[in-house]
Amino acid sequence: MKPAALLTHYPPFLLPGPMMIFAIDNLDTGAEEFYCCVLKQYDRAMRKEQWSIYKEVAKQGGFRKAPVALIVDSPWMPGYLGLTHHDYYFDPEAWFRANLRIIEEFPDIIMFPSWWVEYGMAIEPSAIGARVNFWPDRPPNQTGFLDRLEDVSRLPAVNPCTDGLMAMTLHRYRSLKGRILDAGFTIPVVAARGPLCTAAFLRGLTEFMMDVIDNPAGVHQLLEYATDVAINWLKAQAETIGETVEGILVLDDIVGFLSRDHYLKFAHPYLKRICDSFPSEWVKVYHNDANVTPFLSNVAETGFDVLNWGKTLDVAEAYRRLGADRKLVLMGNVNPLEPGVNGTPEEVKRAALDVLDKTRGRAHILSMGGGVSPGMPKANIMALLEAAREFTA
């Protein structure tokens, strides 16, 4: 492939800035030498390599350093990049460039789950029939419509290929996965909101929590339905993206509102059913930045490999509760607001070093206690990486 052909195949907006400069400065280089040099330059930040590291740690394969991985999505990315949420959600080119730019700016940080097409928390509710409102400066919100729990049986089965924002999401993956993969990246993980999260969106959070006490049978019926939605949605994404998919991310904070007894009745069986629906060798990640303390030791029995948890439980106490025969790798848990957003880089670095020190040599993925919060500056993100490098030096 000649230089001109390379720049045609990988147009300037797709190539990372340093690589583009490198290409322009070497246009007189021989074609083969040029092509190999450019690919060698690009290989330094390949997502495939980063995914291999994440997967090795998640499966406790003996990787000795704690990688830095951050859950990044639309609460943070548009504001950080100076985009409106309308542009990020509705303009495929703006979405593509936004994700590429984040990878350019933070090449040594694993951006998780990687090239994630999401619309805040609106995808699943929209496919079921909820009204969704979009705003230019924040993620969308959705309105519950299941006024009576008895009407669960009347909810239609969801078809991800035709219904709501699911259909739009699958179309974007189909349209852009070729460019993403041709550029040397991978799309290794598909994501969905968990069953309690979706159930609470449909009923309203207060009503759902009251249902747990007043109508447990009806709650189980709703959760069976919501679990089917999550599994079918994850499978539809995996089928659309193809063979690069090797993992799932399930996000469900509502579980953190339950006692241990209620967790075992209303959350554990459904989370386990999701995990059991996918190959055992896949990496399975659970995000819950609410209170996981009452049932932390039970989460590993669902089949999840990794837990991204919140600021309320100290990492040392989390490992104590997991015990010596733990089956769960922790991903976290620097406070996302103090110091993540509002602190200095020095404060973030100290907090990250404190987390790493408390891991006591266990397999661990350094991250925030949840996703990256709106307003977190670049210097504070880089402080996480500095802490990881210093700790393993």
Q: In three state form, how does the secondary structure of 374-390 look?
A: CCCCHHHHHHHHHHHHH
Give the model's pLDDT for residue 393: 54
Q: Count Cα atoms within 13 angstroms, Cβ side, for 371.
A: 20
Give the model's pLDDT for residue 325: 67
Backbone angles phi, psi at 207, to 5 degrees: -65, -40
* 112 within 8 A of 70, measured Cβ to Cβ: yes
Give the model's pLDDT for residue 392: 78
pLDDT digits (tens, 9 = 90+) for 23-39: 333 334 343 343 333 33
pLDDT digits (tens, 9 = 90+) for 370-391: 999 999 999 999 999 999 999 9
In the three-class reduction of DSSP (H, G, I as helix; E, B as strand; rest coil), residue 198 is classed as helix
Dihedral of CA atoms 200, 164, 273, 269 in degrees, nearest 10, equals 10
Q: Say which residue the tokens 């309320």 belong to.
A: 312
- Euclidean distance between CA atoms 74 and 61, whole angstroms: 32
Give the model's pLDDT for residue 30: 41
* Residue 206 CB neighbour total at 10 angstroms: 10
This prediction has a pTM of 0.88
In the three-class reduction of DSSP (H, G, I as helix; E, B as strand; rest coil), residue 146 is classed as coil
Backbone angles phi, psi at 342, to 5 degrees: -95, -10
- Euclidean distance between CA atoms 177 and 240, whole angstroms: 9
* Residue 228 CB neighbour total at 10 angstroms: 16
All residue ranges of the chain with pLDDT < 50 are 1-46
Q: Say which residue the tokens 């976290």 belong to.
A: 332
Nearest Cα neighbor of 271 from 249, 246, 240, 239 is 249
- Euclidean distance between CA atoms 228 and 273, whole angstroms: 9
Contacts with 248 (C-beta within 8 Å, 6 or more apart), sequence order:
189, 190, 191, 192, 234, 274, 275, 278, 282, 283, 284, 285
Domain annotation for the chain: domains and CATH numbers: 1-45 (no CATH), 46-392 (3.20.20.210)
* Residue 261 CB neighbour total at 10 angstroms: 10
Whether omega for the bond prior to residue 113 falls within 30 degrees of 0, making it cis, is: yes
Backbone angles phi, psi at 253, to 5 degrees: -80, -20
Give the model's pLDDT for residue 93: 98
